[in-house]
Structure 1
């Protein structure tokens, strides 16, 4: 993120959130399914990819978790306090492991930067751990440059 973009995000007028999680033109622009990879590294990779992550635009941040079935409702309830919803039909989800955990994808719309991504990654790790599950990784979606909604 450029210095000017950072300054605008911190002190400037907030863009009206118009990104909906149910848009059909959303594509994965950045992802990390490596526990030790820093969010800044993943975002740098996403900015250089095609389609490229647009730092100044809202994104749908999705966290891919594996949770015991009995704990899903409580975890979703806790995540909802921070604006997360369950992804209705997640795409590009890694295969479910052979253990007894259920795949759950929690998502919310936000401006994505390394600091907030890292904070949310930690928050989801704590949530999953308290529920007896694990976090597989995260990804972010933005509208395809060539698509409509």
Structure 2
């Protein structure tokens, strides 16, 4: 993979099935004040050179869920889950190689989408297979 594909979080190493049953949370932050670099610095089992399933946890009014899903799909996110409550708890996910810069950028991007649709971001987490080659 070229340096620019890695920089953009795209390319051949992002072959990770988000539905794998052996995925575990390797990094997370549900604190608005915590920097992604801090959260990733505390992550003990995260492999920086391997793709993750990056998930953003949002709470949005039920009437805004579809609009958020449409915008999220345009930037490469799928809906991992959504409940029927109002406001709805919505989890958006995508597979990418993760570093502090891209985590911060994605966090800001998703926060902007949620804010424009009267919602909040609760936090994010990153998943990788429990057993992976080192």
Query: Corresponding residue for 2:110?
Result: 124
Computing the radius of gyration over CA atoms, which structure comes out larger, 1 or 2? 1
Query: Corresponding residue for 2:42?
Result: 45
Query: Corresponding residue for 2:125?
Result: 139
Q: Within the alignment, does 1:113 sit opposite 2:69 as a pair?
A: no
Query: Corresponding residue for 2:55?
Result: 62
Moved segments of 4+, more than 2 Å: 6-10, 14-17
Query: Corresponding residue for 2:67?
Result: 74
Distance 1:67 1:58, change over 3 A: same
With normalisation by structure 1, the TM-score equals 0.78
Question: Using the alignment, how far apart are the partners of 1:21 and 1:85 within structure 2?
Answer: 10
With normalisation by structure 2, the TM-score equals 0.86
Q: Which runs of 5+ in 2 are unaligned?
A: none
Question: Using the alignment, how far apart are the partners of 2:111 and 2:74 within structure 1?
Answer: 16
